[in-house]
């Protein structure tokens, strides 16, 4: 039997209005409680149904074939190179690079898991940022955030240099109306970037992090393309 307090938590969870720590505790509760899972599923279905209350608008023509072409290109990157020695050499190099990248990713994931386990004991939080645009889909970005000391470390892989532009990190604090500037990301080469950062304002609990491409020298508020977001 679900009590009122848990029902309230379930509602807030579905509505996305729990703080990160509360949400994590609730999810732990959810794992072992079939009845609670059923309640959450029902609430989610009700909530998601609200999407159907929006006035129907036809989606832009041409988006579907573009998406399918994009997926096909991602899945078959070597499909067009069938002849001559050079393409095979490139394919082999790509395979080596992919293996290397996979190993790096695995290593990174292990590091993340380790850091996440340490979270239970410390104030450190690890945010794995998701790419928002296809150009950066193969890249990875991880933020390690020390909330108590208000400082962090960010690491990126496969971040191409942008002529006349800078990458800028932002903290998205639900308690703040505007994103908080967390500094420019120094990209020395196109492979990786790592730097310590200290946001310009206090960053509260449950904050997300994002990266945008901004004019050289950065912006006061994000105005360019958002390439990574995560919490």
Partner 1 sequence: MRQVHVMKTIELSEKQIDVDLMRRVAEGDEAAFSKLYDRFSAPLYSLVRQMTNNDTEAEDALSEGFTQIWRRAATYDPDRSAAFTWAVMLVRNKTIDRLRVRQRVAKVRDGVAAQLSPEDDVDSQSMLAPHLREQARRVREAVSQLPEEQRTPLEMNFFDGMTHDEIAERLDTPLGTVKARIRRGMQKLRSLWKEDQ
CA torsion sign, 216 to 218 to 221 to 222? positive
Q: Which of 32, 55, 164, 217 binds partner 1 (CB under 8 A)?
A: 55
Q: Which of 28, 41, 98, 103 binds partner 1 (CB under 8 A)?
A: 41
Which of the stretches 40-48, 85-93, 181-189, 193-201 binds partner 1 when contact is defined by CB under 8 A?
Answer: 40-48
We find the least distance from the C-beta atom of residue 84 to partner 1, in angstroms, to be: 28
Nearer to partner 1, 70 or 122 (CB): 70
> CA 166 to CA 155: how far, in whole Å?
16
Helices (H), the chain: 4-14, 20-31, 34-49, 63-75, 85-119
Which of 30, 28, 39 is CA-nearest to residue 4?
39
Nearer to partner 1, 65 or 120 (CB): 65
We find the least distance from the C-beta atom of residue 74 to partner 1, in angstroms, to be: 9
The verdict on 35 binding partner 1 (CB under 8 A) reads no
Q: Which of 1, 5, 16, 163 binds partner 1 (CB under 8 A)?
A: 16
The verdict on 52 binding partner 1 (CB under 8 A) reads yes
55's tokens: 């006035």
The verdict on 89 binding partner 1 (CB under 8 A) reads no
Length of the chain: 231
Which of the stretches 113-121, 151-159, 188-196, 205-213 binds partner 1 when contact is defined by CB under 8 A?
Answer: 205-213
**CA trace torsion 198, 112, 165, 182 (10° rounding):** -20
149's tokens: 């000391």
We find the least distance from the C-beta atom of residue 114 to partner 1, in angstroms, to be: 23
Which of the stretches 21-29, 67-75, 87-95, 158-166 binds partner 1 when contact is defined by CB under 8 A?
Answer: 67-75
The verdict on 50 binding partner 1 (CB under 8 A) reads yes
Which residues have a Cβ under 8 Å from the Cβ of 9 and sit 6 or more positions away? 18, 22, 26
Which of 47, 38, 28, 45 is CA-nearest to residue 2?
38
Which of the stretches 106-114, 138-146, 173-181, 192-200 binds partner 1 when contact is defined by CB under 8 A?
Answer: 173-181
């Amino acid at each position: 039997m679900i009590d009122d307090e848990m029902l309230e938590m379930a509602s807030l969870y579905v509505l996305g209005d729990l703080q990160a720590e509360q949400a994590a505790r609730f999810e732990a509760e959810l794992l072992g409680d079939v009845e609670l899972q059923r309640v959450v599923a029902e609430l989610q279905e009700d909530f998601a149904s609200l999407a159907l209350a929006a006035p129907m608008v036809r989606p832009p023509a041409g988006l579907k074939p573009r998406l399918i072409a994009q997926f096909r290109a991602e899945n078959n990157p070597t499909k067009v190179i069938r002849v001559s020695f050079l393409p095979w050499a490139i394919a082999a190099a790509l395979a080596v690079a992919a293996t290397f990248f996979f190993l790096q990713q695995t290593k990174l994931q292990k590091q993340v898991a380790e850091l996440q386990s340490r979270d239970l004991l410390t104030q450190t939080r690890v945010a794995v940022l998701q790419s928002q645009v296809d150009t950066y889909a193969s890249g990875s970005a991880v933020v390690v955030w020390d909330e108590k000391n208000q400082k962090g470390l960010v690491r990126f892989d496969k971040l191409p240099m942008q002529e006349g532009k800078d990458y800028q990190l932002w903290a998205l604090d639900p308690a703040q109306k505007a994103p908080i500037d967390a500094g420019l990301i120094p990209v020395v080469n196109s492979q990786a970037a790592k730097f310590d950062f200290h946001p310009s304002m206090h960053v509260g609990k449950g904050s997300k992090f994002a990266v945008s491409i901004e004019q050289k020298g950065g912006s006061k508020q994000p105005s360019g393309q958002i390439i990574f977001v995560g919490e």
